[in-house]
Every structure is written in C-alpha cells, then in structure tokens.
Structure 1
Amino acid sequence: MSGEVADPKPGKAQRRRLSRSLVIIALSIIAGYLIIQFVGQIDWGQVYRSFGHVSWWQVLILVGVLVLRQTLNAVPLATFVPGLGLNHSLQNDVAANVAGTVTPPPGDVVVRIAMFNSWNVNPVDGMAGVTMNMLNFYAVRLLAPVVGLVLFTVAGLERHRVGWALLCALGAVVLMLILAMVLRAEDWADRLGRGAALQAQRFKASADPDKWSAAVNKFREQMSDGFTQRSTISMLALLAMVAVDSMILLLALRFVGVPASALSIVLVIGTFFSAYPLTAMPLFGFGVLDAVLTAAFVEESGLHYEPIIIAGLAIWRAITILGPLLAGAVTILVWRRRSGSNLNLWGSKDTAPTLSEA
C-alpha cells in the first residue's frame, strides 16, 4: 500500500544479529588467544615465516582435498532428497553456507528453497532432507571422539579420553534413537511436535501445537521410508568427510615444516576426531578448537614447534572456511545467471520463497 511507513524493526534486528556475530567472533578469538598463551609465548615472526614454506603446488593439493571434503559433505542431502543428485546437492550446500554466513536469517533457507524450485525439486522434500542432514551431522560430530579413541588405542598412544568419548557416544545414540522413534511412530511424532510448540510458546505465543504436530508428522512420512539405509550412507559419508578434514590439517602441518617425528599421523588425526565436538560452537569452533588443538600438539612436539603449528592451523582454517565461502559465492552468481533468478538475500522476509508457494 502506498504511503506506508517502512517498519524499522527488521533493520534493528539485522543490526542486533550483526552485533551479536561480532561479539561471538571477538570472544572466540580472545578465548583462543588466552588458551594458547598458557602454552607459551608465541614467536609471531616465526609464524609468519612458516607461511613461506608452502609452495603453490601444495596449495593446489589442499584445494583438491577440500573438493573431496565438500563432495562427501554433499552426499547426505543427495541421499535424502529424491531427484536432487550429488552435483546439485554440492551447489546447494556451498550456496547455503555463504548465504548463512554473510546474510541475516533466514538467508540460507531462502537460497536453498529458491535453488530447489529452479531444479524442479520439491522444496518440502528438500528442506526435510536438509533437516535429516543436520541431525545426522550432529550424531557424527558426537561419534567422532569414539573414532579418536579407537585410533589412539590401536596405535598404543596414552591419550585415551575414554570418559569423553563414551559421553559423546551416548549423546549420539540417544539422538538417533529419538529420531528413529519419531520416524517410525506417529504418536511419538505427535508428542514431539506438540512438546516443541509448547516450549516455543514461551518465546512466540503464536506457536500452534496442532500445526507443529502436523509438520512433524509430515516430516515423518517423507523420511521414514528407507531411513536406516539412508542414514547409514549419510553417516559414513560424514565420517569420511571428517577424516578428510583432518587430512587437510595434517597436510597443512607438514607443508609448513612439522615433521612426522614431532607429530605422527595417528596423533594429528586422533586428536582432531577427539576435539571435533567443539565444532558445534559458533563459527565451527573458531578460536577455541584451534587453541585446544594447538595445546595438544605442542604438548606432544614441544614449544619449539608452536609457531609452526599455529601457522599450519591458520592455513587449515583459511582453506576450509574461505574455500567453501568463495565456492558458494561463485555458485550463487552462476546459478542466478543460468536460472534468471532475481533473488535478493538482503530483502525482507516477505520477498523470500516459502514452502507453501512450492
């Protein structure tokens, strides 16, 4: 309607979200810095010089392994969404990643739905697959320390975190059991939907238990068929993705000059798996995870290698964070040109495609 005054609330909400993101980044960096300081005084000049040890062809190797990592990460969505395919799943994942990073919510959902529509994929099925992908990833994130424990045990290393691994494994088992019961029993789905709505009413009075129950049951109908087989494929692919992620870190450490005599393959990969649940923290555990890995690696190799280890971790972060963001930005530009979409991720939520419009 002409003459209406624009609602200032969306702008204020975006500023609050931006401020909160900046605070989280600052706190993560400060936490990481303080933890590293307990390890020892850092020779930042040596950290900088360590970057010079990396050749251009080694960067290409890291990028190549990153492509494998992202491909494995796209397998679950392709498995859960009929007719999507691995190529479109990969595009959807990297595009949603960059949208969720640089735009206010629900930018990632907007771009996912718009892409599903352009590929003639039912967006309801697509978002159900996204949900299953997320739940499977949380389960794998919790199972990762068990893999680390197994690696340490087989190699005879005395870095057993039995209690931590068992606690995480218990969380993963509980998560998957609840999901299995929800998908196999209508009454469980009904209880979950209504219970979630009642909790949501504490923050949003309009949450309707009947609608939430119907939504959960709709999700159950879509995902229950072949749940065990598809979840198995999904989780195996995600475990392989974590392993490849640890290989990128291992290669980065080797390229900057950390020898196998200081940090063995098993120790690097096992420690990475053991600390992987920390990626549940904001920004994929940026700051805190890096500090924990640094402390563990320096404890094993000695303070002499600390600057080099920090350089290797910085390269790993640059490859695994900036690489997907760049790929996502290029993917969105190419997709918009090919599909003729005029999608505006920074527009109001009223301009976003919705599931009901599919």
Structure 2
Amino acid sequence: MTGAAVPAGGGALPPSRAPRRRRRWLRVAVTLVAAALLHRLVTRLVGTVDWAAVGAALGSLEAWVVLPLVGALLLRQVLNAVPLTRFLPGLGIARSTQNDLTANLVATLAPPPADIAVRVAMFRSWGLDPVLGMAGVTLNSVQFYVVRFAVPVLGLGLLAGHGLERRHWLVGALCALAAAVVLAGLALLLRDERLAAWVGTTAGRAVRVVRRGTDPGEWSARTVRLRAETSTGLRSGLVPSLAALTGMVLADAAILLLALRAVGVRGDDLPLTLVLGVFLLCYPLTILPLFGFGVLDALLLGWFTASGGQEVEAGVLAATVVWRVVTLLGTLALGAVALGLWRAGDRRGARAPGPAGR
C-alpha cells in the first residue's frame, strides 16, 4: 500500500485497529490448530474413552475431598503471590494474593491490558507506587519462567526409577538450558541500565492504552532508578521467590494427586513419584493458553494410562477434570471474591472522611 486515499466505506483499517484484527485472526488460527492437535493426541494416545466409567469415577467423589482440594488451591495461590511482596514494600501477602487473583480473573475475561489496569488501580488504592508494583509483577513473571523450565529436572529425578527414554532426558536438558537463559537475562536486566529503560518504556506504553496521561518516558526513568533500588532486594529475594514458586508448582501437582486418589486410582497403579515426576516433566506446556488446557491433559492421560494400564484410564480422566475445575474455575471464583472485596474496600475508603491512610 502506497498511502493513497482510502475508498469510502472500506479499505485499510486505522493503524490502531489493523494489528488488533491480525492478532484476533492469529488467535483463531492458533486455537484451531491446537484443537486439531488435541483431537489427534487424544485419539492416538488414549483411544476411545469409556465416558460411562468416567462418570462413575466422578460420582464416587466424596464431599470431604473439597476441603483438601480447596486448601491446596489456596496454598498454591499464596505461594504464587510471595515474590511480589519481596519487591513492593508495604504489600503484604494478603494483598499480593488479592492482586494476583484479580488480575488473573480480568486477564481471562477481558482483553489486555485490562489486567494491567486493574493491578495499577489496586496499587494506587493501597497507596503504593504502581511503577514499583508493575516492576515487581514483571520480575515475578520472569522468575516464574525460570521455575517453569527448571522443574522438569526435578521431574527427571523422581522418574529415574520408572524407565525413562532418551527423549525424556533431552526434554529435561532443553528445559534446563531455557531456565538458565532466562535466569541469565534476569541478571542482565539488573546490570544493564539500557535494558531496564526499555522495560520501563514498554510497560509505560502498555499502561497508556488505559491511562492516557501516562508518560512512557517517565516510566522508563523511574524503572532505571528502580533497577538500582531493587537490585539488592532481588539478589536477597531471588532464592526465597524461586522456592515459593517451586512450592506453587508442587501444590498444583498435589491437587492432581489428591484428585487421582479421590477417584480411586491407587498408589499401586500410579505411585506418587510417577505422578509428580510426569507432571513436573510436562509442566513447561503450561506456557500454552489456559495453562496448556487440552494438550497437557492429553499427555498426562496418555502417560498415566500407559503406565497404569487401561483400567486406570477412566479414573485418570476423571481426576484430570477435577484438577482443571479446581485450578481454572476455582481460581476464577477466588478472583471474583478478591475483586469484590477490593471494590467494597475501595468504596469504603472513598466514603471515609479525611485522608485515607492504610
């Protein structure tokens, strides 16, 4: 296109809308490809599913199982919120968990950068620096990528006695390399002022979409200052943050393990080390949309069925359904509660006379 006049009633989209439409079609294409791959995986790895047996396994669940499942979910979310408290002074674990849950809900139901907007609004309502808060969110995301690609190494250790193949070791080695690269990039961010400036500018532009008065240049300058201020805190908080995020992944695996035992899949069929090891080795697939929904489930189902025999297939599928309901729908439900509590508290603060102090 050469910049000629656009015909009335059609032609090129405005610059702000054209990328959105391309991204929308790209998401549709990715979804269709993922659906086709999922169908093929389920067909080849599992075969025909006995849905009546799956229903019977789900029907065997007892009411008391809800308590440990919800407890493991709450532990998972609290551990996920620990790193942000290390980089934002004044943000306790309760508010950090509330911020994460609310952002996850908004990101699931609304297009970006709605989740950024709600995070910034929450930080402001609590009297905290949103630049420092968003920098903490970014650091948390980077650290999670380190853990996401590091836990397969732990999975390999748990699976050592279960007959691993060469390809499994290759996957573990590649994941370990990816984790090392991300960790090196994080260290580089702390040492390179230009990279910190780029991160600040990018974050400022994202926030400007929902807050027109945002100055990316100011965000860049403040992020550079922030790099100098938080580098010491990051070094001291890196190990506790990585440990908390690793615990979060293990809590996620514990939900699946609880679900398996609750539907009657015994340890003789699928030992604890096998369940945890397979989950951790496949965990990098959570990088896909909806935490790897479909693709990860099919691989877990295929591996567990191959290990425990065809008789555990229905129970494994039922447990996978329970795990997804708890970790996806349960997290959204907690996010709705967190959002409601924040809005109620924000309204009370607005009605309170005098300066709000928290």
TM-score bucket (shorter structure): 0.7 to 0.9
Q: Tell me if structure 1 keeps the 8 A contact 2:144–2:242.
A: yes
Q: Tell me if structure 2 keeps the 8 A contact 1:35–1:291.
A: yes
User: Where in structure 2 are the equivalents of 1:201-216 lying within 5 Å?
Assistant: 214=221
Q: Aligned in 2, Cα 1:60/1:44: closer, same or farther, shift over 3 Å?
A: same
Tell me whether 1:48 sits opposite 2:55 in the alignment.
yes
Task: Please give the secondary structure, in 2, of the residue aligned with 1:262.
Answer: coil
**Which amino acid in the other structure matches residue 293 of structure 1?**
L
Q: Aligned in 2, Cα 1:310/1:18: closer, same or farther, shift over 3 Å?
A: farther
Q: Which of these residues, 160, 166, 175, is aligned with residue 173 of structure 2?
A: 166
Deviation at residue 185 of structure 1 after TM alignment = 3.7
Q: Which residue of 2 aligns with 1:157?
A: 162
Q: Aligned in 2, Cα 1:340/1:79: closer, same or farther, shift over 3 Å?
A: same
Deviation at residue 127 of structure 1 after TM alignment = 0.2
Tell me whether 1:116 sits opposite 2:93 in the alignment.
no
Q: Tell me if structure 2 keeps the 8 A contact 1:128–1:222.
A: no
Q: Which residue of 2 aligns with 1:32?
A: 38
Once residues 103 and 8 of structure 1 are traced to their aligned partners in structure 2, the CA distance between those partners, rounded to angstroms, is: 22
Once residues 64 and 79 of structure 1 are traced to their aligned partners in structure 2, the CA distance between those partners, rounded to angstroms, is: 24
Q: Which of these residues, 162, 171, 184, is aligned with residue 177 of structure 1?
A: 184
User: Where in structure 2 are the equivalents of 1:92-111 lying within 5 Å?
Assistant: 92-111=99-118
User: Where in structure 2 are the equivalents of 1:77-88 lying within 5 Å?
Assistant: 77-88=84-95
Once residues 319 and 224 of structure 2 are traced to their aligned partners in structure 1, the CA distance between those partners, rounded to angstroms, is: 47
Tell me whether 1:303 sits opposite 2:343 in the alignment.
no
Once residues 210 and 271 of structure 1 are traced to their aligned partners in structure 2, the CA distance between those partners, rounded to angstroms, is: 46
Deviation at residue 221 of structure 1 after TM alignment = 2.5
What CA deviation, in whole Å up to 9, does each residue of 1:6-47 have, x standing for no partner? x99989988887776666555544432321211221111111
Once residues 23 and 53 of structure 1 are traced to their aligned partners in structure 2, the CA distance between those partners, rounded to angstroms, is: 39
Q: Tell me if structure 1 keeps the 8 A contact 2:200–2:222.
A: no
Once residues 195 and 189 of structure 1 are traced to their aligned partners in structure 2, the CA distance between those partners, rounded to angstroms, is: 9
Q: Tell me if structure 2 keeps the 8 A contact 1:144–1:239.
A: yes
TM-score by length of 2: 0.82
What CA deviation, in whole Å up to 9, does each residue of 1:254-302 have, x standing for no partner? 1111111110000000000000000001111000000111111011011
Task: Please give the secondary structure, in 1, of the residue aligned with 2:330.
Answer: helix
Q: Which residue of 2 aligns with 1:291?
A: 298
Q: Tell me if structure 2 keeps the 8 A contact 1:24–1:282.
A: no
Once residues 234 and 269 of structure 1 are traced to their aligned partners in structure 2, the CA distance between those partners, rounded to angstroms, is: 21
Q: Which of these residues, 270, 280, 292, is aligned with residue 273 of structure 1?
A: 280
Q: Tell me if structure 1 keeps the 8 A contact 2:131–2:219.
A: no
Task: Please give the secondary structure, in 2, of the residue aligned with 1:229.
Answer: helix
Deviation at residue 181 of structure 1 after TM alignment = 2.2
Identity, in percent, stands at 43
Once residues 231 and 115 of structure 1 are traced to their aligned partners in structure 2, the CA distance between those partners, rounded to angstroms, is: 25
Q: How many residue pairs end up in the alignment? A: 324
**Which amino acid in the other structure matches residue 323 of structure 2?**
W
What CA deviation, in whole Å up to 9, does each residue of 1:105-152 have, x standing for no partner? 111111111110111111111000000000000010010111101222
User: Where in structure 2 are the equivalents of 1:1-358 lying within 5 Å?
Assistant: 27-39=33-45, 40-153=47-160, 156-159=161-164, 161-186=168-193, 189=196, 214=221, 217-340=224-347
Once residues 157 and 66 of structure 1 are traced to their aligned partners in structure 2, the CA distance between those partners, rounded to angstroms, is: 28
Q: Tell me if structure 2 keeps the 8 A contact 1:193–1:209.
A: no
Q: Tell me if structure 1 keeps the 8 A contact 2:58–2:318.
A: yes
**Which amino acid in the other structure matches residue 254 of structure 1?**
R
Unaligned runs of 5+ in 2: 1-12, 204-214, 350-358
**Which amino acid in the other structure matches residue 291 of structure 2?**
F
**Which amino acid in the other structure matches residue 58 of structure 2?**
F
Once residues 199 and 265 of structure 2 are traced to their aligned partners in structure 1, the CA distance between those partners, rounded to angstroms, is: 51
Q: Aligned in 2, Cα 1:71/1:101: closer, same or farther, shift over 3 Å?
A: same
